[in-house]
Chains A and B, each alone.
Chain A
Amino acid sequence: MYSEQVMDHFMNPRNMGEIPDADGVGEVGNPTCGDIMRITLRVEENRIVDAKFKTFGCAAAIASSSMATELIRGKTLEEAWAVTNRAVAGALEGLPPQKLHCSVLAEEGIHKAIDDYRARHGAPEPSGG
């Protein structure tokens, strides 16, 4: 059912955990649906120098969070904002159709964490955000 990439990121998640006193925090999903994702960011000079996740959810949700944090580490906030759910799913060599919402959740988590950083640091909302 799952690709090797999904299973790898599920069994060996990257960047699992929480950054203490993070510069930006994004929590998305709800327990009723069975998926909650929390992304924490460390931002230095407009660049994501560290990103971590904690996720309650299925293997696809955990793998999507892991891959999403991998994709945004080292990127500027603008570059990270542009990482789409399709990019996350693509990097995981695809997700089953009923699991695509997990990659959407990852994209939303990134956006929410960046929004949180910007709100706290007085930066302008991105255009099209």
Chain B
Amino acid sequence: MNTAIRGRSRPVYMDHAATTPARPEVVEAMLPCFSERFGNPSSLYALAREAQVTLEKARGQVAAAIGASPEEIYFTSGGTEADNWAIKGVAAANRKKGDHIITSAIEHHAVLHSCRSLEKQGYRVTYLPVDEFGRVEPAAVEEAITDATILISVMAANNEIGTIQPIAAIGEIARDRGIPFHTDAVQAIGAIPIDVDSMGIDLLALSGHKFYGPKGTGALYIRKKTRIGTFMDGGAQERGRRAGTENVPGAVGLGKAIELAVAAMPENVTRLAAMRDRLIREILETIPDTRLNGHPTERLPNNVNVAFRYVEGESILLMLDALGIAASTGSACTSASLEPSHVLTACGLPPEHAHGSLRLTLGSRNTDEDVDYVLSVLPRVIERLRKMSPLTPERYT
């Protein structure tokens, strides 16, 4: 029995949807901003002007990555702040116009909890259902629109199951109806091409540490003329909309990371998708009573999410951890809420299946050998846990 947890162990990080290591070039670009070019961009002397130039260069890099203008990019502390600002800011600025927001049931908590917070203030929110693959139907967005709708917010790609949403179709609907469209693109940057104009996007949230940039950095894209409230009151930084001395090293790291991520995208997507497809295929082939969560084709190139019946996700994770593998689960047991993942539940997965989900998200340092290693140990981990489970049918034990 213990053979499953002994033998050669190999450190394999497959949780890139949680966070990524900063690229050396990113760290290198940031370093001078801490103690040499440390000026406050708001000041007037040369050192400050230099910081200002550095900051604006980073803003240009972020803008170029998504087809925006630099003056439409606002630096934030991350994806969560960008989502909060987009949703609460648009809601506040359009309160007289209406009180209805449309979003999906599988959004990140940064979006969902922002919407819940608005509901407490009297706003009404429609949480669109998804199909079994986690896709939002654009027609459902259209049907949900009322005269009071002031915002549509649908993520570009889901963090748990990797399903890519029909963003351009939803953006077109929003544009036709004159409703601001926000997308949480935190998982999408560097994985799928994003162009705010052709996709009809008015607001977009992104986060540096998801694409090999620094933690604590992010940005909100706000299309010109979009009505939105101020997020932080204080100084005149970020065109007076997000006060606080700029995180110049962070912005520089973010700019460098997004530039590299977009440049490397074609090559990365091909490489990661090949590993992803092999993982999915071989896991489903070698382990019985296993299903793929998320969409078979419209999914992020690095995302594998499978549900193993009769076993529980946290147990899988801890055994994989003992073997050197870092992964994630949608099981309740890793959260304080004791509720299984809202994403898997929205896809119609019964709770007992949702508890046995495993997410592997690939990244730049993963190799075919990593995939071989995961495929060599995962069946033994599942078998071992199934032997312990009273739910496992006798044919497996």
Q: Hey, which bits of chain A sit against chain B, CB under 8 A? A: 2, 7, 10-13, 16, 18, 27, 31-38, 54-62, 98
- A11 and B311 in contact (CB under 8 A), knowing A16-B388, A54-B388, A56-B389? no
**How far, in whole Å, are A36 and B385 apart by their CA atoms in the complex?**
13
Min Cβ gap B163→A in Å is 23
Which one of A2, A34, A38 lies within 8 Å of B312 (CB-CB)? A34
In the complex, are the beta carbons of B390 and A54 less than 8 A apart? yes
A34 touches B355 (CB 8 A): yes
Task: Tell me if B387 counts as interface (CB < 8 A to partner A).
Answer: yes
B332 proximal to A (CB < 8 A) = yes
Q: Which of B319-339 contact A (CB under 8 A)?
A: 319, 322, 331-334, 336, 338
- Collect the chain B residues with CB atoms within 8 Å of residue A37's CB: 390
Cβ-defined partner of B315 (8 Å) among A32, A36, A57:
A57
With A10-B315, A11-B322, A58-B331 as given contacts, are A32 and B351 in contact (CB-CB < 8 Å)? Answer: yes
Interface majority SS (helix, strand, loop, mixed), chain A: mixed
Q: Are B5 and A56 in contact (CB under 8 A)?
A: no
Q: How far is the CB of B284 from chain A (nearest CB, A)?
A: 21
Q: A27-B390, A56-B390, A58-B333 are in contact. List 16 more A-B contacts (CB 8 A).
A: A10-B315, A10-B318, A16-B388, A31-B351, A31-B391, A32-B351, A33-B332, A34-B338, A34-B351, A38-B390, A54-B389, A55-B390, A56-B310, A56-B311, A58-B315, A98-B338
- In Å, the complex CA distance between A25 and B387 comes to 18
Q: Is there a chain A Cβ closer than 8 Å to B314's Cβ?
A: yes
Asked whether B249 is an interface residue with its Cβ less than 8 Å from the other chain, the reply is no
Q: Contacts of A98 on B, CB cut-off 8 Å?
A: 336, 338
A34 engages B390 (CB within 8 Å): no
* A35 to B318 Cα, complex, angstroms: 16
Q: Which residue on chain A has the smallest CB distance to residue B4?
A: A11
In the bound complex, CA of A60 to CA of B311 (Å)? 14
Q: How far is the CA of A36 from the CA of B314 in the complex (A)?
A: 14
Total chain B interface residues with beta-carbon distance under 8 A: 26
- Interface presence of B39 (CB below 8 A): no
Give chain A residues whose Cβ lies under 8 Å from the Cβ of B389: 36, 54-56
- Are A34 and B391 neighbours in the complex by a CB distance under 8 Å? no
Residues from chain A with a CB closer than 8 A to the CB of B301 are none
In the complex, which residues of chain A have a beta carbon less than 8 angstroms from the beta carbon of B310? 56
* B340 contacts chain A at the CB level, 8 A cutoff: yes
Tell me if B387 and A12 are in contact (CB < 8 A).
no
Q: Is B322 within 8 A of A58, CB to CB?
A: no
Greatest chain A CB density within 10 A among B311, B315, B387 is at B315
Instruction: Name B326-372 residues within 8 Å CB distance of A.
Output: 331-334, 336, 338, 340, 350-352, 355
> Contacts of A7 on B, CB cut-off 8 Å?
318
Bound complex: CA A13 to CA B1 (Å): 10
Q: Provide the residues of chain B in CB contact with A57, threshold 8 Å.
A: 312, 315, 333
CB distance from A20 to the nearest CB of B (A): 12
Residue numbers in A under 8 Å from B314 (CB-CB): 58-59
- Residue numbers in A under 8 Å from B3 (CB-CB): none
With A12-B2, A57-B315 known as contacts, the answer to whether A31 contacts B352 (CB < 8 A) is yes
Which one, A10, A18, A34, A59, contacts B332 given CB within 8 A?
Answer: A34
CA distance A36 to B340 in the complex (A): 15
Q: In the complex, what distance in Å separates the CA atom of A62 from the CA atom of B319?
A: 12
* CB proximity of A123 to chain B, nearest CB, Å: 25
- Contact indicator B388/A33 (Cβ below 8 Å): no
Within 8 A of A (CB), among B368-397: 387-391
30 cross-chain CB contacts under 8 A? A10-B315, A10-B318, A11-B2, A11-B5, A12-B2, A18-B390, A31-B352, A31-B391, A32-B351, A32-B352, A33-B332, A34-B312, A34-B333, A34-B351, A36-B390, A38-B390, A54-B388, A55-B389, A55-B390, A56-B311, A56-B388, A56-B389, A56-B390, A56-B391, A57-B312, A58-B312, A58-B314, A58-B334, A59-B315, A61-B312
Q: A residues within 8 A CB of B312?
A: 34-35, 56-58, 61
Q: Is the CB of A62 within 8 A of B315?
A: yes
A83 to B314, CA, bound (A): 27
Neighbouring A residues of B336 by C-beta, 8 Å: 98
Contact with A along B101-119 (1 / 0, CB 8 A): 0000000000000000000
A98 to B268, CA, bound (A): 40
B340 adjacent to A34 (CB under 8 Å) = yes
